[in-house]
Structure 1
Amino acid sequence: MAAPPSKEKIAFMKAHSDESLVPDIIICVSICGIASIVFILLRLYSQYLVSRKFRLTQSDILLLIGWVFYAQFSIGLGMITKYGGGRHVILVTDMRLLNTWKIVDEVSYSTSLGFLKLGILRLYGNIFPSRRFHGFLWVFALVLIGFHIASILVNILECIPIQYYWDVTMKEGFCLNYGLYMLLTGVINIINDFIILFSPIPMVLHLHTSKQKKRLLIFTFGMGGSACIVSIVRLAFSLDFDTTGDPSYDNIRMSLLSLIELMAGILATSIPTYWPLFRHIMAICRPSSINSPTYIDSKDSKWNSGGSIHPSPQISAGVSAGQLESSISGINVTRHVELARYTNMGGNWIRVPDDIRKGWK
């Protein structure tokens, strides 16, 4: 609960009554809101490129539920400006409604963050089939659910009775040290973020693929570290949250960082699903010639015919694959593979008939 402002603080606020963070709130809410929608649409379109159907997975549903609470958090930030949020406390017009929306925002933040983390855990479960890893994901998911339920209860029952939060004239009431609570939950959230960030790395290292692809996959999952960075920055503001004499102004920066943290969480949850989209963009930028033969020159080859050796023209081996009847983009698989050799005669590539190939050495 915020402490009453001192006389010096009141004099300072009167001298700076024209200061306002309302434009910052509007800009941040607008940019983050648009960015979050773009991240989700790119995720859905990327998955559409694979199946050619708009189909929601369990991870998508958890992400969308998290986004709904994220939108509610954004609306709450906008609503507090109506009652004095973003301006000094001496300019607050309705303390009860201001703090009511503050509680709504805190509950929305914890709920959204919880669903986003569950969404990325479910995504990991879809990617990696290991039973042991699935067991770890279930245990960790239960821990996250318990932690966020406890956080929501604390956010609602910060002051008992709740009216004591904005009515300090009440004779009986009690409020938690909310700044200390924010510090503890911030540390736990960062630890959870790092566990989520590093948990798929051992699974990637055991994949039967090249080192380059492993590094690329680790880098992709590591992009989720952007949310960890925002969480660490946000932690620096936690001790002063709701403890100053001017909470309607001083708490805004941390609220904006919370909004950015949720947006980064939406991005971190979506990045691993963007691979089909990246391949689609690369295919547009660099069209591939899958159906044309690939030639490998061999300038030092000899033509052996009738026991005599003659200088040989350039020789090439080409592999041609039949085109699939399906028009689905992505990875094409065919069983119609033919190995053939070509020779450059007079500047033209000519396929060597099967009965002549026996004469090659």
Structure 2
Amino acid sequence: MAVTSDPTTWPPPNYVNPHTRVPLILGVNDTTTTLMVIFIASRLYGRSILKNGLGTDDYIMAIAAVVALSMGIQCAITTRYGNGHHLYDVKPEWVIPYGQLTLAVNSMFPTAVSLTKISLCLTYLRLFPSQTNRWFCYAVITYLTLWCIAITLTNVLQCIPVASYYDPSITHKRCINWKASLVSTAALNSTSDLVVYLWPALYVWNIQLPWRQRVGLIFVFCAGVVVCAAGLLRLYWCTLYFKAWDIFWVSSVIWTLNSVEVNVGIICGCLSGIRPLLAHFFPRFFSTTNSNHTGASSARNPHSQSFPFQSLSGGARSGPRRLSSEEDLETRNYAWASTGKPKDEVDLHNGEGIEVITAVDVESWSSKGGGRRNTDVSSEELIIGGGN
């Protein structure tokens, strides 16, 4: 007889060695949580050893990582209380602790994903100095802040009294429409995922680099497509959850997708910040593009290397300016900075990129003095290096 929602068709409960999805839950949750911790630690440590200083986006991403770590721990604990089990293999005494953990994680989820995307928007403000990008980032940060507050309160107070959410013995309660709340929350979150994680693609694609390097940069900034996919799959499984009777079994997939969306989102947010750390310890493998392709010619002629400042959009008022190695470039890592008022030095052309129309100074941010002259700098390092 097939197992259905009718309890008379259920097999005897198996509390010894039941068939579960626990290996899937723990495998994905533990792996992504561990990687997330490694990446956030690398980002913060890299900022420290390179003496760049921690920015607001770093602190916000660190808070998101702490929340995500707490969620990962609680997700692992839920497997002891029926998560990933068939309903007929769930002990009655597991229902309340499972419900409590579910309420806690659902209440923390909006904070984790919102802080991650707010941190990314702050990073975009530093990397892409166009008016359009500023409007976009400020609008998204405002939206995410309001969304986080609203959804957190909704999740915590979805039932009055709150304990009635996880305690089936409380019959006198008032609850919102759980299905409408969960599906709408997932839909709005997936929409913001698509907008935030894919926003840099246009800017990065317009950088004047060989196509292989351009694709590499797009991969760095748009690896968040994995997060978007996880969010959309989570939305789909939320609709299935409310149609299923074997809720502990079906919800295990939602728990797994939660781990992917939260942890991989933080990992993607850290990708642009760990390149300087890798270059510090492994300069041979993570050196900049110019040094890889022009090192030999520079050795033969130390004054032959130059770096074109290409306009990132059409209609430049003047041709691109070439900055040669003779212009007092003394270190490996640089940050581009204008010498006067921003409007006098950089034209934000149509909100699509930077059009350099007058002189630009190069300021060293990691000069240690002495040593041979090195002109190893490129657009790729400027973007991947975090714009500092």
TM-score for the superposition, normalised by structure 1: 0.71
Find the aligned partners of 2:169 and 2:282 in 1 and give their Cα distance.
65
Q: In structure 2, give the amino acid aligned to 1:233.
A: L
1:150 positional shift: 1.5
Gaps of 5+ in 2: 303-323, 335-363, 374-388
Corresponding residue for 1:330? Answer: 333
Find the aligned partners of 1:157 and 1:88 in 2 and give their Cα distance.
28
Corresponding residue for 1:293? Answer: 299
Q: Is the 8 A contact 1:291 1:323 kept in 2?
A: no
Cα gap change, 1:130 to 1:80, in 2 (>3 Å): same
Cα gap change, 1:141 to 1:258, in 2 (>3 Å): same
Find the aligned partners of 1:204 and 1:7 in 2 and give their Cα distance.
57
Find the aligned partners of 2:175 and 2:286 in 1 and give their Cα distance.
62
Corresponding residue for 2:198? Answer: 198
Q: Is the 8 A contact 2:32 2:264 kept in 1?
A: no
Cα gap change, 1:30 to 1:15, in 2 (>3 Å): closer
Q: In structure 1, give the amino acid aligned to 2:13.
A: K
Q: In structure 2, give the amino acid aligned to 1:64.
A: A
Q: Is the 8 A contact 1:159 1:165 kept in 2?
A: yes
- Spell out the pairing of 1:175-194 with structure 2 (5 A cutoff): 175-194=175-194
1:215 positional shift: 4.9
Q: Is the 8 A contact 1:85 1:249 kept in 2?
A: yes
Find the aligned partners of 1:8 and 1:329 in 2 and give their Cα distance.
73
Q: Is the 8 A contact 2:221 2:272 kept in 1?
A: yes
**Are 1:87 and 2:89 counterparts?**
no
1:12 positional shift: 4.3
Q: Is the 8 A contact 1:186 1:231 kept in 2?
A: yes
Q: Is the 8 A contact 1:84 1:248 kept in 2?
A: yes
- Spell out the pairing of 1:1-361 with structure 2 (5 A cutoff): 6-8=6-8, 11-12=10-11, 14=13, 18-48=18-48, 52-53=50-51, 55-89=53-87, 90-204=90-204, 209-210=208-209, 212=211, 215-241=215-241, 244-277=244-277, 279=279, 283-285=283-285, 293-294=299-300, 329-330=332-333
Find the aligned partners of 2:25 and 2:198 in 1 and give their Cα distance.
33
Cα gap change, 1:43 to 1:170, in 2 (>3 Å): closer
Find the aligned partners of 1:57 and 1:13 in 2 and give their Cα distance.
57
Cα gap change, 1:81 to 1:216, in 2 (>3 Å): closer
Deviations 1:247-270 (A, max 9, x none): 333211111110111111012211
Cα gap change, 1:251 to 1:102, in 2 (>3 Å): same
Deviations 1:292-347 (A, max 9, x none): 73259xxxxxxxxxxxxxxxxxxxxxx997998x7x6535899x99xxxxxxxxxx
Cα gap change, 1:35 to 1:92, in 2 (>3 Å): farther
Q: Is the 8 A contact 1:179 1:243 kept in 2?
A: no
Q: In structure 2, give the amino acid aligned to 1:177.
A: N
Cα gap change, 1:216 to 1:80, in 2 (>3 Å): closer
Q: Is the 8 A contact 1:40 1:266 kept in 2?
A: yes
1:15 positional shift: 7.2
Find the aligned partners of 2:119 and 2:74 in 1 and give their Cα distance.
23
Deviations 1:32-78 (A, max 9, x none): 221111222332354456xx227321111111100111011112112
Deviations 1:183-230 (A, max 9, x none): 2222212211121133334444665x4464655433432222121111
Find the aligned partners of 1:65 and 1:120 in 2 and give their Cα distance.
13
Q: What is the RMSD computed on CA atoms of the aligned residues?
A: 3.6
Find the aligned partners of 1:6 and 1:104 in 2 and give their Cα distance.
31
Q: Is the 8 A contact 2:72 2:259 kept in 1?
A: yes
Cα gap change, 1:13 to 1:197, in 2 (>3 Å): farther
Find the aligned partners of 2:191 and 2:12 in 1 and give their Cα distance.
38
Q: In structure 2, give the amino acid aligned to 1:73.
A: M
Find the aligned partners of 1:24 and 1:255 in 2 and give their Cα distance.
10
Find the aligned partners of 1:282 and 1:257 in 2 and give their Cα distance.
34
Find the aligned partners of 2:230 and 2:182 in 1 and give their Cα distance.
15
Q: In structure 2, give the amino acid aligned to 1:262.
A: V
Cα gap change, 1:223 to 1:167, in 2 (>3 Å): closer
Q: Is the 8 A contact 1:114 1:148 kept in 2?
A: yes
TM-score for the superposition, normalised by structure 2: 0.67
Find the aligned partners of 1:12 and 1:141 in 2 and give their Cα distance.
51
Q: Is the 8 A contact 1:230 1:260 kept in 2?
A: yes
Find the aligned partners of 1:20 and 1:286 in 2 and give their Cα distance.
43
Find the aligned partners of 1:167 and 1:210 in 2 and give their Cα distance.
59
1:81 positional shift: 2.9
Q: In structure 2, give the amino acid aligned to 1:157.
A: L
